Amino acid sequence: MSIKIGDKLPQASFMTLGADGPAPMSSDDLFAGKTVALFAVPGAFTPTCSAKHLPSFQANAAALKAKGVDIIACCSVNDVFVMGAWGEAENVGDDVLMLADGNGDFTKAIGLELDASGFGMGARSQRYSMLVKDGIVSELNVEAGGDYHVSSGDYLLEQL
């Protein structure tokens, strides 16, 4: 069953790439006591993800933070090195925290996995965005297969 508005996010561990290399980040470290704009993409460096989805959150970073968002985070079922390289290639700086859900454990736990094996990509995440307040989902925007609209930074900003 998929996560829904009002649900508490499950315990999970993500990986981030910092100056000292890979480091784990727990869901408590990420969400506890914070307002987080979390969005997920099927894959780093993929066309829609790189040309539209990630840039929509970069472009709206200041506006989202002005509306009370503490952290903007991008999650993908990719390894930490790919997420780090993608963030660097897209110049996200401190605007977007790049989260690797390498084994897809978080994605499976919230019921938003995607079988992209037909494209040679294996198990991935559906494209979505959500607003999370202190670990509770307050907005959730899941795209229909192949679409890109409701998961954009612009759309989430309108919901604040």
Give domain status of residue 1, yes or no: no
The one catalytic residue in 37, 40, 44, 49 is 49
Which pLDDT score is estimated for 120? 65
Q: Name the domain count of the chain.
A: 1
CATH code of the domain covering residue 114: 3.40.30.10
Is 5 inside any structural domain? no
Q: What is the pLDDT of residue 122?
A: 59
Is there a catalytic annotation at residue 49?
Answer: yes
Q: For residues 112 and 62, what is the distance between their CA atoms, to the nearest angstrom?
A: 28
Q: Is residue 105 part of a domain?
A: yes
> What global pTM score does this model have?
0.94
Contacts of residue 40, defined as CB under 8 A and 6 or more positions apart, other chains included, come to 74, 75, 76, 101, 107, 112, 125, 126, 127, 128, 129, 151
Residue 6 lies in a domain: no
**Residue 131 belongs to domain spanning:** 13-159
Q: Is residue 148 part of a domain?
A: yes
Does residue 118 lie within any of the structural domains?
Answer: yes
In a domain, 19, yes or no: yes
- Which pLDDT belongs to residue 119? 74
pLDDT < 50: residue spans in the chain: none
pLDDT at residue 12, rounded to an integer: 95
